[in-house]
Amino acid sequence: MALSATLPIQDSAASLFQASSTDVDEHCAALGRWRLSYDQISAGAFTGSFTQLSLPRVEVFREITSQQVRQYGQLGAGSFGIGLPWHGDGEVNCNGASVAGSQVIACIDAEVDMCTPKAFEFRGVVTSAALIEELAANLEIELPRAVWHQLRAMEMAEAPVARLRAHLAAIQETITTAPERFNDPVARQALEDTLLVEIMDMLPTARPTDPGRSAVTRKRTVDRARARMHGSGDRSLSLLEVCKAVGASPRKLGYCFREVLGTSPMHYWRAMRLNRVRRDLKRGAEASVYDIAVQHGFWHFSQFSLDYKRHFSELPSETLRRARLA
């Protein structure tokens, strides 16, 4: 169930949006214009929240997710985003590379493919890539062109990153305690200018982290394995089939998946198929739970029911019943 509210702030120059959900798809749908898809990888009840302060040229966000999630898609064509991992029970994986606590995640007019850990909090700023280019030209700032059209973990100078982190913390505190302050157009303009100044101060110091040849190779192996899995339709694959397809031993493939996605190959593939089943059930399909499970490669129905309940904290029949009553 999702709970959301959009609060207009004086003459539509800014707005504050807040949403919470107990379903990963509903959480994803609350992300607005971001064209992202989420799959729940870890097992357990999902809770999530999303807060976005939209200023005329900048969006400030805070996202919290309780379970390990794969996020993929786009922030929007021509978007520029900087995100700071805030909390989490494990590492963030960004395009196959682990993100250390001192790094930031930059997405510059690029596709997103990221795995986040349990109990994860993410804060950041999204704006237009064209605006960043315009400001760079006006301020004679050299942008890191080597990372354009990429999602990358970046090393940046500590001081501007620390200042941006402090601004994001102050914004969230204001949203919680005194959101009416954003009604002041002078305060809004000052906040937007401050955020853009910090970003433009950070970018010339940006250095893409070098994941190393071994990390690139692991990412390539995982990508080939996932392509084999998703290209199989709904037919259930064995680990041996996947290993043969990518030319890796079970041990090597398992190591690659744990390093890149934080889970095993078969757990990942089972989680993806469980997410597909759940989406079909939430559409209120006329087919039975058994028929839908079989369509996605789950032939052992009692085991499927156990796996589904463990993953989503409810029986598949409960998901279907709720969808049909909606």
Q: Where are the domains of the chain?
A: 15-209, 212-325
Same fold, 15-209 and 212-325: no
Q: CATH says 212-325 is which class?
A: mainly alpha
pLDDT at residue 10, as a whole number: 41
Phi/psi class of residue 3: alpha, beta or left (left: φ > 0; alpha: ψ in -120 to 50)? beta
pLDDT range class, residue 5, cuts 50, 70, 90: very low
H or E element that contains 206: none
Phi/psi class of residue 141: alpha, beta or left (left: φ > 0; alpha: ψ in -120 to 50)? beta
Q: What are the angstrom distances between the C-alpha of 193 and each of 169, 187, 189, 200, 230? A: 17, 10, 6, 10, 44
CA distance 233 to 43: 23
pLDDT range class, residue 216, cuts 50, 70, 90: confident
pLDDT at 12 over 60: no
CA distance 263 to 87: 19
CATH architecture of 15-209: Sandwich (2.60)
Q: What are the pLDDT digits (tens) for 257-292?
A: 988 888 899 899 999 999 999 999 998 878 899 999
pLDDT at 1 over 60: no
User: Of the candidates 248, 245, 242, 320, which has an alpha carbon nearest to the alpha carbon of residue 282?
Assistant: 320
Q: Which residues is 207 bridged to in the sheet?
A: 155
What mean pLDDT comes out for the span 157-170? 93
pLDDT range class, residue 211, cuts 50, 70, 90: low
pTM of the full predicted structure? 0.87
Q: What are the pLDDT digits (tens) for 23-60?
A: 999 999 988 778 889 999 999 999 999 999 999 999 99
Q: Can you tell me whether residue 78 is helix, strand or coil?
A: coil
Q: What are the pLDDT digits (tens) for 244-257?
A: 999 999 999 999 99
- In single-letter form, the type of residue at position 22 comes to T
pLDDT at 76 over 90: no
Q: What are the pLDDT digits (tens) for 115-155?
A: 999 999 999 999 999 999 999 999 888 887 777 787 888 88
pLDDT range class, residue 237, cuts 50, 70, 90: confident
pLDDT at residue 98, as a whole number: 78
Phi, psi values for residue 12, rounded to 5°: 60, 15
pLDDT at 169 over 60: yes
Q: What are the pLDDT digits (tens) for 288-309?
A: 999 999 988 888 899 999 999 9
